[in-house]
Amino acid sequence: VLCGGLLGTGTFRRYGDEEAVCEGCYVSLVLEKCAGCGEAAEETVTCESMPGKVWHPECFKCSACSEVLEGSFHHKDASLFCRGCFASHFLPRCARCAKPIEDGALTALDCTWHQSCFTCAFCSKPVTSKRFHTTASAPGDVDARPVCEPCHESHVLPKCGACAKPIKSGSCAVFKGQKLHKECFCCVECKNPIQSKYYQQDKGVACEGCVAKATSSGIMVRGVKGRA
C-alpha cells in the first residue's frame, strides 16, 4: 500500500486499517527510529520526560559510561545519564566532603554544602542557626569553615584578663598587654569602672577621682599615669 509493489508470497505486515505493507516499507517508513542508533526500532523503550523519542532496549544507555539504564536515571538536553554519571558530571560538590549533592544543598560562605557536612570547625556539631561565624582569615578564603556561636565565644573571642569571660563587643580596655571588659577595668579604691585617666600603682589602678581625693587629703599618690 505504500510502495505499490506486489506482495507476492513475501513477508508483509498489517498497517492502519488492515492495509498490507511490505517488510521493507514497514521498517523504513512505519517503524520509529531509535534516538540512540538511528535505526528502525520495533521493540522500544520510551521516556515520559522526552516525548517523541524511542530507543532500542540495548540503546537506552548512559551517554557517559554506556551502561544500559535500569531503574532511575536522568537526562540533560537530549542525552541520558545513569544516576552516578549525572551526579559526577552535573551536580554541585560539597565544600567539605567533595561528594556530589543530590538534594538538600545548603549555600553558605560562597560554597555549597551537604546539610550534614555544614558543621562547626571546633565541636563538629551541625550549624543550623542562621547566625554563625567563620574561620575565614580573609574574604574569599576557600578553606573557611563555619563556627557556631558557643564555640566562637569559647575558642575565638579574646578573654577578659579580669573575669576570663569572652569580650563580645569590639570596644575594650587594654592594660599591661591584656584586654579587659570596660566594666572589669575598675578602680582599686572605689571599684567603679575607669572612664578616662587613671594611675597605675603596685596594688592596681586608681581612677582620677580617687587620686584627687587622696591628694586633697594630703596623701601622696605614686604611680604611672595612664588613660583608659
Tell which wins on pLDDT, 139 or 149: 149
114 and 163: one domain? no
Residue 14 lies in a domain: no
- Which of these ranges, 68-77, 104-113, 200-209, has the smallest mean pLDDT? 200-209
Residue 10 lies in a domain: no
- Average the pLDDT over 194-204 and give the result: 79
Q: Which three cell numbers stand for residue 12?
A: 508483509
Q: Which three cell numbers stand for residue 100?
A: 556530589
- Average the pLDDT over 128-141 and give the result: 81
**pLDDT (tens digit per residue) in 2-31:** 454 555 555 555 555 556 666 566 566 567
Residue 19 lies in a domain: no
CA distance 59 to 37: 7
Query: Does the pLDDT of residue 39 top 50, yes or no?
Result: yes
Decide: 205 and 188 in contact? Cβ < 8 Å: yes
152 and 167: one domain? no
Tell which wins on pLDDT, 131 or 227: 131
142 and 128: one domain? yes
209 and 223: one domain? yes
Residues 6+ apart with CB under 8 A from 174: 180
**pLDDT (tens digit per residue) in 41-65:** 878 888 887 888 899 999 999 999 9
Q: Name the domain boundary from 114, 131, 156.
A: 156
Q: How many CB atoms lie within 10 A of CB 174?
A: 11
**CATH of residue 142:** 2.10.110.10
Phi/psi for 38 (5° steps) reads: 85, 0
- Average the pLDDT over 159-169 and give the result: 89
Decide: 146 and 120 in contact? Cβ < 8 Å: yes
Q: Which residue has the cell 538538600?
A: 104
Rounded to the nearest 5 percent, the helix, strand and coil shares of the chain are 15, 30, 55
Q: Which three cell numbers stand for residue 129?
A: 542557626
Residue 56 lies in a domain: yes
Q: How many CB atoms lie within 10 A of CB 183?
A: 13
**pLDDT (tens digit per residue) in 73-130:** 998 888 899 999 999 999 999 999 999 998 888 999 888 999 999 999 999 999 988 8
Decide: 147 and 121 in contact? Cβ < 8 Å: yes
At 78, which amino acid appears? A
pLDDT of the residue at 214: 79
188 and 215: one domain? yes
Number of domains in the chain: 3
At 202, which amino acid appears? D
85 and 134: one domain? no
Decide: 69 and 46 in contact? Cβ < 8 Å: no
Could you list the residue range(s) of the whole structural domain that residue 71 is in?
31-89
Residue 4 lies in a domain: no
146 and 166: one domain? no
176 and 208: one domain? yes
110 and 81: one domain? no
183 and 136: one domain? no
CA distance 196 to 183: 13
pLDDT of the residue at 10: 53
Q: Tell me the pTM.
A: 0.55
163 and 125: one domain? no
Residue 8 lies in a domain: no
Residue 168 lies in a domain: yes
46 and 73: one domain? yes
Residue 49 lies in a domain: yes
CA distance 209 to 211: 5
104 Rama class: left (phi>0) / alpha (psi -120 to 50) / beta = left
